[in-house]
Amino acid sequence: MSQLATFIDKKRQKKPILAMTHVVYGYPSVQESLDWMARLMEEGVDFIEVQFPFSDPVADGPSIVAACHRALEQKLDVDTCLSQLGKLAKDFPESRIVLMSYLNPMYRFGLEKLAKRAAEENILGLILPDLPIEQSATYRTACEANNIDPVWLVTPATPKDRLTMLAGQASGFLYCVARSGVTGHSSHEGKSHERKSHEEKDQTNQLDDYLAEINSHANAPIGVGFGLRERSQIEQLTGKADIAILGSALLDAYNEGGQEAGIELIKMLFTK
């Protein structure tokens, strides 16, 4: 079993569901983002997912897009970022860091070099939402050689045979996108606001079926993200998923009330 999956298994013996919290590297400044990561791990989150910003983040919604663009007003460097995350990983051995970005900045840095450097800094998982598994031979080989996990995504729109394939290929954990669309609140979900309560129930059942289907094929723990911001959602996932991934909602809270508001949200969502 991979280092990441082993870590998740071990933690899961004590906790019903693990928390992965997302932070945009460099937002609002490099130091503030590093402080925020340290604080999250101090508070005991199991994982942080660090997003290295890209100018054109097409899978992200308005909150994360704005944070990435703001972060890119300064020059950001992948290698420096990895070193800084490596220090955090050392300081907080009870938590793990995974790195998320888009393909282009990582491709420019070099996918083989990325895998090697990530492993050196104890970053055990990488998430690249715009790299399809079909085009990933070099990247997968590099991850394997360095004993880190390329994390794959599945979605409710993924056809069954493909879902089976991706679940079978999963290493570290499988990232299950909870719904169509981009991360967080989106200007494109006009219809969902009008959703009636019986439709919401259908949605709940659909998510349960979707997770059950994934669970029956997955070779790795599963994490669920996209659109999580309420305690009822986390409760619904408990027992069906290993990790709840908190992205835009946490960023929105941080933007509203800084670190304290962010921590309050996490406690509200995850404390028993």
Partner 1 sequence: MKSENGFYGQYGGSYIPEILYSSQQQILQAFEEAKNDPEFLAELNKQWQQFSGRPTPLTFCENLTNHFGGAQIYLKREDLNHSGAHKMNNVIGQGLLVKRMGKKRVIAETGAGQHGIATALVAARLGLECTIYMGAKDIERQYPNVFWMKQLGATVVPVTTGAQTLRDALDEALRDWSSSHEESHYLIGTSCGCAPFPEMVAFFQSVIGNEVREQSVAQFGQFPDRLYACVGGGSNACGLFLPFLEDENVEMVGVEAGGKGLELGEHSIRLSHNLGQPGIAQGFATMFLQDDAGQLQETHSIAAGLDYVGVSPIIAHLAETGRVQMTYAMDDEVIEACTLLLKKEGIIPALESSHALAGAFKDAPNLPKESRIVINLSGRGDKDIFNVAKAVEDETFPQFLNDYLASYPTFPADNSHANKEQNA
Which residues sit at the interface with partner 1, rule CB under 8 A? 54-62, 65-66, 69, 72, 75-78, 102-109, 129-132, 135, 152-155, 157-159, 162, 166, 177, 180-182, 186-189
Task: Tell me the residue length of the chain.
Answer: 272
Residue 200 among the catalytic residues: no
Tell me the backbone φ, ψ of residue 63, rounded to 5 degrees.
-65, -50
* Dist CA 191 CA 37 (whole Å): 35
Whichever of 65 and 88 has its CB closer to partner 1, that residue is: 65
CA distances from 152 to 18, 26, 93, 159 (A): 18, 25, 24, 15
| The token pair that represents 63 in the structure block | 């909150």
What phi, psi does 262 have (nearest 5°)? Answer: -65, -45
CB of 104: closest distance to partner 1 in angstroms? 4
From 46, 60, 149, 242, active-site residue:
60
Q: Which residues pair with 224 in a beta bridge?
A: 176, 244
CB of 107 to partner 1, least distance (A): 6
For the bound state, the minimum distance from the C-beta of residue 253 to partner 1, rounded and expressed in Å, comes to 21
Quote the least distance from Cβ 159 to partner 1, whole Å. Answer: 6
Nearer to partner 1, 62 or 86 (CB): 62
Q: Are 12 and 221 in contact (CB under 8 A)?
A: yes
How near is the Cβ of 211 to partner 1 at its closest, in Å? 16
Q: Which is nearer to partner 1, 9 or 56 (CB)?
A: 56
- Smallest CA-to-CA distance from 48 within 57, 56, 39 is with 39
The active-site residue out of 46, 49, 242, 252 is 49
Q: Is 49 a catalytic residue?
A: yes
* DSSP 8-state symbol, 226: S
Residue nearer to partner 1 on the CB measure, 136 or 236:
136
CB nearer to partner 1: give 102 or 173.
102
Residue whose entry in the numeric block shows the structure tokens 């990561």? 37
- Pick from 84, 79, 103, 111: nearest CA to 23: 84
Sign of CA dihedral 225, 229, 235, 236: negative
Catalytic residue numbers read 49, 60
